[in-house]
Structure 1
Amino acid sequence: MKKIHIVGLGLLGGSFGLGARQKFPELQISGFDSDPQNLKDALTLGIITEAKETPDADTDLVILATPADTLGGLLLKTLDEVGENTLVFDLGSTKAKLCQLIAEHPKRRQYLAAHPIAGTEYSGPKAAFAELLDRKVMIVCELEKTDLHLKEKAYKLFDALNLKLRFMDPEEHDRHLAFVSHLSHISSFMLGETVLQKMADEKNIFDMAGSGFASTVRLAKSSPAMWAPIFTENKENILSALDGYIANLSNFRNKIAASDAEGLFEEMAQINKIRDILDLGK
């Protein structure tokens, strides 16, 4: 593996670039970002070694790390342009629409549908760091549709970055992510909004914000440019998750309104079981 090209040089794309250069010092990494400042920062920070919009014909891997609503058109354009020995994979948080879009493309076997479960609440090249992907899960969809020899190039990079591979079909991926990732961000944004609305009347409310509030609302610092497209691209699954969440909130509110301390205790005790599930997953 000699050359990689990255489109989208924010947190994820930038961290892939830094991690790849750390593991393969001789690797040539070109890249492009629609934000001129991001492109400049990526060069300065050593995320890429060269700025260019399209990859060379002999590029081994092209990584697409742009917002979810841009990936479809970008993927089609990239596959049309790359040579026969180049593998293209994206880092998008939704997969079903992409896999449907690309199903009949003549270069379908040069595409790998991938999604690293990694990130922070910060964005842009300056937020990227080489260790972001270490020991994180990389979900791969429709693996059997990718060329055997080309996907070995991706495996070499994933192994070097210490990513743990998991395999799902695209619909299962999007359905599960709606609950464990997308709904979490919506909850955080809405908690942040509720407190900001209260702050308009009570300026000292944040003086009482402890670590519990800070950890719960942390995701509300995430990039709207990244998350608004995710919410619309995975709309059906997210609406289903939201309906269940809102029903649970309403039920919990009713218990509080009825001063049902026993009911509240029993419900929270049941929910405490999630601790064992999360501890098991570490």
Structure 2
Amino acid sequence: MEKIVVVGLGLIGGSLALDLKKRGDFKVYGIDQNPTHVKKAIELGVIDAEISFSELSEADIVIIAVPVNIIPKLTQKVLDVVSNETLVFDVGSVKNEICKAVENHSKRKNFVAAHPLAGTEFSGPEAAILNLFDDKVNIICEADKTDWRILDKAISIFKKLNMRIKMMNPIEHDRHIAYVSHLSHVSSFMLGKTVLEIEKNEEAIFDMASTGFASTVRLAKSSANTWTPIFLENKDNIINSLNEYIKNLKEFKDLIENNNEEGLKESMNNTNYIKSILNGLK
């Protein structure tokens, strides 16, 4: 039985723990700076037991699932104490700073920079669910810097989770993810903020809310403690994506102000092309 240690018992770390316990011969231990999270994770059966950082040398696999601004230094500390055969991987949604932080570490070969594209708007160990990763994409960055035996072990773990693997350069990853994920969260937060500021009557909002509104602002329920570090760690790419987004919003506003019916139709019809792209991903 292999020993897995999950550092960070939130949605992603907890869901990985649940799924791996179900799908393999693993005993799963947890570490979290919040004692309440550890207690809750044990009560819910997310992990089998707590473990101390000093015991990481006995782990076969260490999963780092903490906020992205903490991952670089924590990964260095984990690599300092694990064995030469231990697989260490993170699940952060910003990769370049993490990869740079460990590039010269003597155990760089033990590390896999991963980003499973899965999640919900909920947080904490209570949010952990089974089957979260099925049929989702998992991006691996700088796979060539990992020992092939360690990488093979990581890929076997991801296959147990029914994930599809994609290799990517960390700089490209951070640029692309700013548009397809981080911008979506900014938009959702700001749409929710705008509606709350304009419409003070909350009951009216809920009475009038369509399924479209609910799905669009769903991400606004996400944890600020999770997303603030992400926005700041990927700051340059997010600012670039926001500049493009703001430009398009202004152009759309101008079309409405000028009663430009044909321009509105053209803008929306051109954007309808995204349907064919998203359909192709299914």
Scaled to the shorter chain, the TM-score interval is: over 0.9
With the length of structure 1 as denominator, give the TM-score of the two structures: 0.97
Matches within 5 A, 1:200-279: 200=200, 204-279=204-279
Q: CA deviation at 1:255?
A: 0.5
Q: What is the percent sequence identity of the aligned residues?
A: 49
Contact kept, 8 Å, 2:15 with 2:132, in 1: the verdict is yes
Q: Distance in 2 between matches of 1:165 and 1:11?
A: 21
Contact kept, 8 Å, 1:58 with 1:85, in 2: the verdict is no
Matches within 5 A, 1:10-159: 10-24=10-24, 26-54=25-53, 55-159=55-159
Deviations 1:216-261 (A, max 9, x none): 0000001111100000000000000000000000000000000101
- 1:196 is matched with 196
Contact kept, 8 Å, 1:178 with 1:237, in 2: the verdict is yes
Q: Distance in 2 between matches of 1:47 and 1:147?
A: 30
Q: CA deviation at 1:5?
A: 0.5
Contact kept, 8 Å, 1:135 with 1:163, in 2: the verdict is yes
Q: Distance in 1 between matches of 2:202 and 2:11?
A: 35
Contact kept, 8 Å, 1:60 with 1:153, in 2: the verdict is no
- Give 2:231's aligned amino acid: F
User: The residue matched to 1:159 in structure 2 has which SS?
Assistant: helix
Gaps of 5+ in 2: none
Q: CA deviation at 1:201?
A: 6.2
Superposed structure 1 runs of 4+ greater than 6 Å apart:
none
Deviations 1:55-85 (A, max 9, x none): 4423111000001111111111111111111
- 1:4 is matched with 4
Farther off after superposition, 49-58 or 3-12? 49-58
- 1:176 is matched with 176
User: The residue matched to 1:204 in structure 2 has which SS?
Assistant: helix
- Give 1:60's aligned amino acid: D
- Give 1:33's aligned amino acid: D
Q: Distance in 2 between matches of 1:66 and 1:56?
A: 16
Deviations 1:124-151 (A, max 9, x none): 1111112001111000000010011112
Farther off after superposition, 27-36 or 167-176? 27-36
Q: Distance in 1 between matches of 2:97 and 2:81?
A: 21
Q: Distance in 2 between matches of 1:195 and 1:16?
A: 35
Farther off after superposition, 147-156 or 193-202? 193-202
Gaps of 5+ in 1: none
User: The residue matched to 1:259 in structure 2 has which SS?
Assistant: coil
With the length of structure 2 as denominator, give the TM-score of the two structures: 0.97
Q: CA deviation at 1:206?
A: 2.9
Distance 1:229 1:160, change over 3 A: same
Contact kept, 8 Å, 2:178 with 2:238, in 1: the verdict is yes
**Count of residues in Structure 1 that have an aligned counterpart in Structure 2:** 281
